[in-house]
Amino acid sequence: MAIRVAQLAPSLQEKMTERRRYLHQRPELSFREHDTSRWVGERLRELGVDVTEGVGGNGVVGRIKGAHPGPTVAFRADMDALPIQDEKEVSYRSGVPEVMHACGHDGHTTMLLGLAEILQGNLDEVRGEVVLLFQHAEEQTPGGAISMIEDGCLEGVETIFGVHLWTPLPTGRVGVCGGPAMAATDRFEVEIVGEGGHGGFPHQTIDAVVVAAKAILDLQLVVSRYVDPLEPAVVSVGRLSAGSAFNIIAERATFEGTVRTLSEEVRSLIEEKMERIVKGVCEGTGASYDLEYQRGYPSLVNHPAQTDVVRRAIEGSDRCTLVEMKPIMGGEDFAYYLQEVPGCFFFVGAGNEDKDAVYPHHHPKFDFDEDALSVGVEALLATYLQYTAAN
């Protein structure tokens, strides 16, 4: 195939930068991406791409049919923003109070539009069909992937690829992780109910704060003493709420947190052990409890063959350097696509100290090196060419 990867992707850099900044100034929260979806649909139609809007909610699906027979390959980008105040001092900072693109989704959308422009402009050299999934609501459970799948976005698709801009990697690096690559993301909330009373007479009460504190400490035993030390797992309590005054022993205390795992076996084990531990603490103190455990996105598991396709594509690229990554304990609802069809989700480096692209994802000053946009398009295009050449 004669599509020149190294030349075409950089040629789009200026346009992609403008588009990314347009989106960055107009962020929309999960399930509210109405203007973003409309804008994406307009850009695709300008290219001559077959467009379906309102897929599973605010999702947009573009289909590009090549001139030659071949496989049907899907690529996915997410479009939603986060409820965070943008604190960057840049001309393109968010114009929406308390909402910003703090995870690179504006870049993902821009890169997929770039891929669409390259392929649509070279239909005589495109094999099979390319399905472009612009997904809403990745940041908020239950996420947009499930509803888009239920609405038929994967119809006819035999493989899928997705990318995430990643500032912990410098621009030019592309990270790949075979097998379990991202964690299942579960949430729990525990309410402890004791008997309140006067702070000077604790013997007449069941102190919900003390019971909650003991339960929280004992939950730290789950990973250290019940989970195989070779299995990645995290139990973190992020919020504790109790009490009304300094001299009143609280009757109720509530705490909540997250569980991150890579295997379903460990996931189920932790859920079971948490229940036993909280129950045991409460039985020993005379308190009662209510534990709500909500399963979030499943672990994202990359398929071996598609992961090897990405590796070979990056190794043959002029601008990308392959990095073998360890699993990340963050979550992604791209995992749902991978439960339906084989595929691979990988990471495009976007960090650059010289451009102040150093803040972590979901930080109020998050930004990424915009040169990573053309690198990302090159990685996507190289992956497409590598897969279709072998299929």
Whole-number CA gyration radius for the chain:
24
Confidence of residue 11 (pLDDT cuts 50, 70, 90): confident
Query: Is residue 228 located within the same domain as residue 345?
Result: no
Per-residue pLDDT tens over the stretch 76-125: 999 999 999 999 999 999 999 999 999 999 999 999 999 999 999 999 99
CB 260 within 8 A of CB 183: yes
Per-residue model confidence (pLDDT) at position 328: 97
Query: Is residue 19 located within the same domain as residue 118?
Result: yes
Q: How many domains does the chain have?
A: 2
Specify whether 138 is catalytic: yes
5, pLDDT greater than 80 = no
Give residue 258's domain range: 186-294
Q: Give the residue from 271, 294, 317 where a domain finishes.
A: 294
The rounded distance, in Å, linking the Cα atoms of 74 and 63 is 9
Helix then strand then coil, % of the chain, to nearest 5: 35, 30, 35
Query: Is residue 233 located within the same domain as residue 127?
Result: no
9, pLDDT greater than 80 = no
- What would the mean pLDDT of 189-217 be, rounded to a whole number? 98
Query: Is residue 372 located within the same domain as residue 223?
Result: no
Query: Is residue 35 located within the same domain as residue 158?
Result: yes
CATH of the domain at 360: 3.40.630.10
- What would the mean pLDDT of 203-225 be, rounded to a whole number? 97
311, pLDDT greater than 70 = yes
**Which of 104, 118, 112 is closest to 62 using CA atoms?**
112
Per-residue pLDDT tens over the stretch 26-50: 999 999 999 999 999 999 999 999 9
The rounded distance, in Å, linking the Cα atoms of 293 and 280 is 17
Query: Is residue 209 located within the same domain as residue 245?
Result: yes
Query: Is residue 177 located within the same domain as residue 205?
Result: no
Per-residue model confidence (pLDDT) at position 318: 83
321, pLDDT greater than 50 = yes
- What would the mean pLDDT of 205-211 be, rounded to a whole number? 98
Which one of 28, 80, 117, 207 is the catalytic residue? Answer: 80
**Which of 221, 208, 83, 60 is closest to 132 using CA atoms?**
60
Per-residue model confidence (pLDDT) at position 7: 65
Q: Give the residue from 294, 323, 357 where a domain finishes.
A: 294
Per-residue pLDDT tens over the stretch 58-84: 999 999 999 999 999 999 999 999 999
The rounded distance, in Å, linking the Cα atoms of 231 and 16 is 40
Which one of 138, 139, 207, 367 is the catalytic residue? Answer: 138
Per-residue model confidence (pLDDT) at position 319: 86
Q: What is the mean pLDDT of the chain?
A: 96
Per-residue model confidence (pLDDT) at position 1: 47
Query: Is residue 313 located within the same domain as residue 205?
Result: no
The rounded distance, in Å, linking the Cα atoms of 119 and 107 is 18
Query: Is residue 281 located within the same domain as residue 195?
Result: yes
Query: Is residue 150 located within the same domain as residue 192?
Result: no
Query: Is residue 337 located within the same domain as residue 268?
Result: no
Q: At what angle do helices 34-47 and 13-24 cross, to 10 degrees?
A: 160
Query: Is residue 157 located within the same domain as residue 286?
Result: no
Q: Give the residue from 294, 318, 341 where a domain finishes.
A: 294
CATH of the domain at 278: 3.30.70.360
Per-residue model confidence (pLDDT) at position 2: 57
329, pLDDT greater than 90 = yes
Confidence of residue 6 (pLDDT cuts 50, 70, 90): low
